[in-house]
């Protein structure tokens, strides 16, 4: 099993409602990908940072291209969110 972590930044003045809706839309798009297990999205509105953490059956599934998520990628860009390259890790422990 693998974990994919993506970090991002945004203008802290961005509407929290828009950010939450975008996070939910991202989760909906991610869970349609082959090998999906779970997703969590976190926001620190005051700091203008976010994190998306998803779990995958295998490394190939975790390494999907961001464009595979469809229209939500444009919505992310339109809202001014800057995403870093995803980091992929082997799961070493769960609780």
Q: What is the per-residue pLDDT for 95?
A: 92
- Residues 2-14 have a mean pLDDT of 97
At 64-94, the pLDDT tens digits run: 999 999 999 999 999 999 999 999 999 999 9
Q: What is the per-residue pLDDT for 54?
A: 98
Query: What are the two backbone dihedrals, phi and then psi, of residue 21, each rounded to the nearest 5 degrees?
Result: -60, -40
Mean pLDDT of the chain: 96
At 22-77, the pLDDT tens digits run: 999 999 999 999 999 999 999 999 999 999 999 999 999 999 999 999 999 999 99
- What domains does the chain contain, in order, with CATH numbers? 2-90 (3.30.70.100)
Query: What are the two backbone dihedrals, phi and then psi, of residue 25, each rounded to the nearest 5 degrees?
Result: -65, -40
For residue 25, give the nearest of 72, 70, 68 by alpha carbon: 72
Q: What is the per-residue pLDDT for 23?
A: 94
């Amino acid at each position: 099993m693998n974990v994919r972590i993506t970090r991002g930044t945004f203008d802290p003045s961005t509407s929290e409602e828009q950010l939450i809706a975008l996070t939910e839309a991202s989760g909906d798009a991610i869970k349609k990908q082959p090998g999906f297990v779970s997703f969590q999205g976190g926001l620190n509105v005051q700091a203008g940072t976010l994190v998306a953490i998803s779990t995958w059956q295998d490394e190939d599934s975790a390494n999907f291209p961001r464009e595979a998520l469809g229209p939500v990628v444009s919505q992310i860009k339109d809202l001014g969110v800057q995403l870093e390259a995803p980091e992929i890790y082997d799961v070493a422990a769960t609780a």
